[in-house]
Amino acid sequence: MSNFDVIVLGSGPGGYVTAIRASQLGFKTAIIEKENLGGVCLNWGCIPTKALLKSAQVFQYLQHAEDYGLKAEGVDKDFDSVIKRSRGVADGMSKGVQFLMKKNKIEVINGYGTLKPKKKVSVKDESGKETEYSAEHIIIATGARSRELPSLPQDGKKIIGYREAMSLKEQPKSMIVVGSGAIGIEFAYFYNSMGTEVTVVEYLPNIVPVEDEEVSKQLERSFKKAGVKIKTSAEVTSVDTSGDGVKATVKTAKGEEVLEADIVLSAVGIKSNIENIGLEDVGISTDRDKILVNDYYQTNIPGYYAIGDVTPGQALAHVASAEGILCVEKLAGMHVEPLDYGNIPGCTYCMPEVASVGLTEKQAKEKGLDIKVGKFPFSASGKAKASGNSDGFVKVIFDAKYGEWLGCHMIGNGVTDMIAEAVVARKLETTGHEILKAVHPHPTMSEAVMEAVAAAYDEVIHL
């Protein structure tokens, strides 16, 4: 039995980052992974999807070359090559994580890990051989997978999850996307851009339902303009896969209708990977599919910790990484503050992109806050006009009395790279007037943030 200071179970963006930080802090560290280093994010999520979306964006630019005074004749796509490029990017990133493990002297243990009492983990390799390891601290970072609905059982062929969606052998002529969170919307954008006829079915009244309502409505307009059909306040009650394609029965306020497509993508959320990893044997407490932890990710059993999608925080790669770093820094005796889950940015990488942090206007009003709201459309931005991408806006919400930046909501080209300004400003408790007096470069998309703040304080210049 090998002994370590820290063993991390799972090598996604939570697990591998945690292992690296633990090693940096002087812990003898091992990481256990049953598939590929990098987990879902690097291999089947964040990274390969962005490669697909970039191909879609380039394809759109080529199709609209004349809008920029250029000519591009006979433009077409090679769907198989697009998929292969995405897989190549993912493979390269996974190899990068392998390099980081070696660089940081982290022992990589390949196999399926199961937690055992007394701070031990049993690992079964491909041959079925089991080896037991022990550590002073065991950190669970096993992530999550696509959630399945009883009315929408995935078969991997006609009813698929995100894994199959990014590695289809042939492009479907038509697709129904059930769920309009980040995963559903990104795939809806990708397949629509590639030429697939896409219908989005959302159970709630607005697509991207966690976003500010104005952002949701703008994205719906942009998607409809691109040819995506959208049905909100709608529920898929049953599916029939007996024929060549799929027939989905959808219940709306107007009654039931049957939608037909080649394939259905189920994007109705995620399910934490907490089964069959030994939680019950150790006695670790869970509630509603999540492992219960304190502010520093300690479970109810000393020596066992959990981070990322298996815990109650937002299921986002950057949250998992932050949690893991905070966890091991606490173990090392460093002074750390609990993570502020109210200041976590969320991003959706369709076109136009969506990015947000903090309270929506509706949430601020529900809290009874006296607020100032400012909004600046990209149609009034010189940089947006010049780039040919003027859909969208920046919206800011401030506390009227103290100037606290309560929320920032963006939709437009490149906004996922802009939202960090609001995150840092909110972390530093920056006021609206301080943002106004911070000179923003011109012409840029980012100056729309300053203009939106100016609008909130009745000082807007370019609108």
- In this predicted structure, the answer to whether residue 453 has a pLDDT above a threshold of 90 is yes
Confidence of residue 41 (pLDDT cuts 50, 70, 90): confident
35 or 5, which is more confident: 5
Q: Does the active-site annotation cover 433?
A: no
Average pLDDT over residues 243-260: 93
pLDDT (mean) for 212-221: 97
Q: What is the pTM of this model?
A: 0.94
Instruction: Count the residues in the chain.
Output: 463
Select from 3.40.50.300, 3.50.50.60, 3.10.105.10, 3.30.70.260 the CATH code of 2-146+271-341: 3.50.50.60
What per-residue confidence (pLDDT) applies to 450?
A: 96
pLDDT at 35: 87
pLDDT (tens digit per residue) in 151-162 = 899 998 999 999
Amino acid at 209: P
b/e burial code for range 310-320 (CB count within 10 A of at least 16 → b):
bbebebbbbbb
Task: Tell me the average pLDDT of the chain.
Answer: 95
pLDDT for the residue 44: 81
Cα 362 to Cα 232, 314, 374, 391, 406, distances in angstroms = 19, 20, 14, 23, 12
CB 4 within 8 A of CB 107: yes
Indicate the SS3 state at residue 149: strand
**Tokens 């959706």 sit on residue:** 348
Percent of the chain clearing pLDDT 90 (strictly above): 89
Confidence of residue 132 (pLDDT cuts 50, 70, 90): very high
**Contacts (Cβ under 8 Å, ≥6 apart) of 34:** 110, 111, 112, 113
Instruction: Please check the confidence at residue 124 and state whether its pLDDT lies above 90.
Output: yes
List of long-range contacts for 128-134, beta carbons under 8 Å, 24+ apart: 131/1, 131/2, 132/1, 133/1, 133/2, 133/3, 133/4, 133/7, 133/30, 133/109, 134/1, 134/2, 134/3, 134/4
Element (H, E) at 42: helix 39-44
Structural fold of domain 159-268? FAD/NAD(P)-binding domain (3.50.50)
Q: What pLDDT sits at residue 158?
A: 95
Q: Are strands 174-178 and 159-160 parallel, antiparallel or unpaired?
A: unpaired
- CATH superfamily, with its number, for domain 352-456: FAD/NAD-linked reductase, C-terminal dimerisation domain (3.30.390.30)
**Closest residue by Cα to residue 427 from 328, 355, 357:** 357
Dump pLDDT digits (tens) for 69-106. 999 888 999 999 999 999 999 999 989 999 999 999 99
Distance CA 293, CA 232 (A): 35
- Of 41-55, 129-143, 298-312, the one with minimum mean pLDDT is 41-55
Q: Spot the catalytic one: 137, 335, 433, 442.
A: 442
Amino acid at 314: Q
Of 43-47, 140-144, 180-184, the least confident: 43-47
Nearest alpha-carbon partner for 238 in 153, 304, 180: 153
DSSP states along 67-105:
GGT----S----HHHHHHHHHHHHHHHHHHHHHHHHHTT
Q: Is the pLDDT of residue 42 over 90?
A: no
Above pLDDT 70, what percent of the chain? 100
Mean pLDDT of 334-344: 97
Rounded Cα–Cα distance for residues 121 and 133 (Å): 5
| Average of per-residue pLDDT across 282-293 | 96
Q: Where are the domains of the chain?
A: 2-146+271-341, 159-268, 352-456
Helix crossing, 15-24 with 79-103: angle to 10°?
A: 20
Q: What digits encode the pLDDT tens for the residues 353-412? A: 999 999 999 999 999 999 999 999 999 999 999 999 999 999 999 999 999 999 999 999
State the pLDDT at residue 344. 98
With bands split at pLDDT 50, 70 and 90, how would you rate the model's confidence at 1? low
Same CATH topology for 159-268 and 352-456: the answer is no
